[in-house]
Every structure is written in structure tokens, then in C-alpha cells.
Amino acid sequence: MKEQRNGLLLVVSGPAGVGKGTLDKALMERNHKIKMSVSATTRAPRPGEIEGVHYFFKTEEEFKTMVERGEFLEYMHVFGSNYYGTPRSFVEQQLANGYDVILEIDVNGAMNVKRSFPDAVLIFITAPSMSEIKSRLIGRGTETMEQVEKRFATAFEEIKMIPHYDYVIVNDVVDVAVHHMEAILEAERCRTARSAFVSEAIEEIGR
Amino acid sequence: MKEQRNGLLLVVSGPAGVGKGTLDKALMERNHKIKMSVSATTRAPRPGEIEGVHYFFKTEEEFKTMVERGEFLEYMHVFGSNYYGTPRSFVEQQLANGYDVILEIDVNGAMNVKRSFPDAVLIFITAPSMSEIKSRLIGRGTETMEQVEKRFATAFEEIKMIPHYDYVIVNDVVDVAVHHMEAILEAERCRTARSAFVSEAIEEIGR
């Protein structure tokens, strides 16, 4: 048997306000072999932000070189704004050390990751209904109605991408939703394609 | 939301002696919404066997009529011997009532079920290694060495079919293996294709 199995890359998406961060945090508290992916960015560090913990801070030139070298699982650049990306090396290093890695990312980023890392497991987090998504956005009270409408329109577009995800978790009760995430991790480790038994048995049969 | 969700059909295969029956039983003890599928057969009832519990007992004519009507998920007939089959109606009725159904069946039967019921979840149970499979067969002490060799050859053929299964569970410690089965059930219910949320949200978006 392999001495240590590789971790899984979990890609987590979902509309604003559905509690993705809460679930990620709860999952990590209950499972100590899970880490969040750390993004690279060209924006300046804010007070208290630590290199390699909150972000990998890069100059635009460094970032572009990484892009050219194919060092990102995905990256994005809003014109006139900063670059953000997911360094492949950090993720692969954690996976090789047996850590599962959570990558919380929007639907476009998730589709790019799926292309560059087909073994990723895509999970879409949602509230129980569209109307619940809207009331959670309003309930946050941090945005104007115009911003809420805009976010809700975005949520609509995101929901349409669900068929590209492997799993959908309805975050109604946090403990239940976290249990679903744990079950998905455990089940995915039993997937035939990932089974160490299969490759070893077929090798043994060949002898 | 749907008032009651449908159950899942779990197809369980694996070499003789790996503990399929033990796992099924343990799973059912811990989860009361799981039932075993009941087969139909043309063989005569043995003392104590109850119609609809151990088997559905059929005459050969009845069985053949059911075959013609497409009433089996799969069936087999060894020349000069009895017919055995899995009645679709029993399985579908349990699933509609919200029960998960376990169908313990050989690899050929499993492939047939997958064709006639694509939503089935296929799980292959195995011992930790090929040599362990052999020692478990010998350890049962109920067979001659010739029978053991024959069963081991069959196990080889079965192992080769693993890539057609969705999951592989290595039954080393029973509690761990049962937990894997439970995780698979829970994860499969979160599968995008089965999510009630998805169809409802897309309908809501359409309005």
C-alpha cells in the first residue's frame, strides 16, 4: 500500500450569503487534515495580512511570468484592476502531503480549475430556495437594495452553472451541511478511480 | 420541496468471503430506511423460507412471462438449472417509499442492472489484497482446495470488472467499511443529478 494517500481538491462555490465560509471553517475545525488554498494577487497587502497565509503577494511582472509558465490552476484579471490566481504548486504540495484543500471560488474560476485539474471535486453551496437566497442577501444589511439586486442577478447566473458541479449542498442547518461535506470527502476517497486497491490488485493479477 | 425523496439502489458485489453480507446487515441495523432486494426464483422453497421475504417463488412459466414483459432488472438462467432474477417492481416500490435498496449480486448481474437502471450506485467490496482474499476463502474451511482455487479464479475475473463500479470499499475493519457505505449514501444524495434543489431553482428562475 502507498504510505500516504494524496488529499482531495474541493472546489466550493455558491451565491453570496449562503454560508460558504462558515461551512469551510466548521469543516476545518472538525478535520485537521484540511487546508484552504492561498491565492496569489497583485494588490498591495493590507495591514495584518501575512505573505503565504492570506495571500501570496506578487508584482504584476511576477504574476504575468507565473501565468506564462502555466503556474496557475486558474486566474482572473479585471481590466484596470488587480490579478488574482490560484498557484498550482501550493495546492499540489498540500495534496501530496495528504491534506485536502478547499478552494472557494466563483463559478467561472471553478470551471477553469476543472479543466486544469480534472480530479477536483466541485461542490455548489446554496440556500434552500431562491427566495431564501434573496432574503439572506437582504438580511446581511451591508448592502443597498441596488447591490442586493445585482448580487441576486449574479446568483441566478451561478445557479445555472450547477449542472457542471458534482454535488449540491443545501445549507439549511450548518451541522447537517458540514456532515454532507464530510460524507462527500469520505465517499470520494472510495471512488474506483482513486482506489489504491484497484491499481495494486490489477498489478498483482498481472504477475 | 418534494414531500418524500426516492431511495437509492445500491448494487453490492465482491468476491466470496469478503464480508458483503456482514456489511449489508450492519448497514441495515444502523439505518432503518434500507432494505434488501428480494429475488424471484423457480427453485422450490426450502423449509422455513417465506414468500416475499426470502424469495418470490415462481413457476418456470410465470418466470418466463415476467422476462417477456421486461419485469426484471436482471435475471440469469444456468442451463438445466433454475432461474433467478431481480423483479423491477419490488425495487421501484421500495425506492418510491423512500427506502434505499441493497441488491447483492455478481458482477454480470451488476452490469445488467446498470444498463436497465442507470441511476443505481455500484459498490465493489473487497479484502485488503488478493492474498487476503485467498486466505479468507481458505479460512472459511467450508470448501476443498479445488473449490477454493475455483473461487479464487472467479475472484480474479470479478476484480477485473472493478473499473465499471462507482466505488470500491476495502473491508478491513467492519465499522470503517460500514461508515464508508453510509458516507456513499449521504454523498450520492447530494449528487447534482439527484438534487431536488436544482430542478426547483431552475423552474423558479424560469418564472
A2 pLDDT above the threshold of 60: no
Please state, in angstroms and as integers, the Cα–Cα distance from residue B81 to each residue in B43, B50, B97, following that order. 9, 21, 34
The whole-number pLDDT of residue B2 equals 46
For range A98-105, the mean pLDDT: 96
B160 neighbourhood in chain A, CB within 8 Å = 202, 205
Q: Which fold has domain A9-37+100-206?
A: Rossmann fold (3.40.50)
Question: How many Å lie between the alpha carbon of B138 and the closest alpha carbon of chain A?
Answer: 19
* Cα–Cα dist B116/B92, whole Å: 12
pLDDT digits (tens, 9 = 90+) for A133-161: 888 878 777 778 888 888 888 888 899 89
Domain boundaries in chain B?
A: 9-206
The whole-number pLDDT of residue B166 equals 97
Q: Is B130 on the interface with A (CB under 8 A)?
A: yes
Q: Is B183 helix (H, G, I), strand (E, B) or coil?
A: helix
pLDDT digits (tens, 9 = 90+) for A146-203: 888 888 888 888 998 999 999 999 999 999 999 999 999 999 999 999 887 777 777 7
- Closest-approach residue (CA) in chain B for A207: B130
Query: Which one has a higher pLDDT value, B132 or B189?
Result: B189
Nearest-by-Cβ selection for A165 from B160, B192, B205: B192
**If one looks up domain B9-206 in CATH, what number appears?**
3.40.50.300
Nearest-by-Cβ selection for A192 from B163, B179, B191: B163
The whole-number pLDDT of residue B17 equals 84
The whole-number pLDDT of residue A149 equals 87
Are A129 and B200 a contacting pair at CB < 8 A?
yes
The whole-number pLDDT of residue B4 equals 66
pLDDT digits (tens, 9 = 90+) for A48-73: 999 999 999 999 999 999 999 999 99
Can you give the length of chain B in residues? 207
Residue B36: pLDDT band by 50, 70, 90 thresholds? very high
pLDDT digits (tens, 9 = 90+) for B87-127: 999 999 999 999 999 999 999 999 999 999 999 999 999 99
For range B5-31, the mean pLDDT: 92
Nearest 5°: phi and psi at A33? -105, 35
B128 pLDDT above the threshold of 90: no
- DSSP run (H or E) holding B45: none
Q: Is B191 on the interface with A (CB under 8 A)?
A: yes
Please state, in angstroms and as integers, the Cα–Cα distance from residue A188 to each residue in A7, B169, B201, following that order. 11, 11, 26
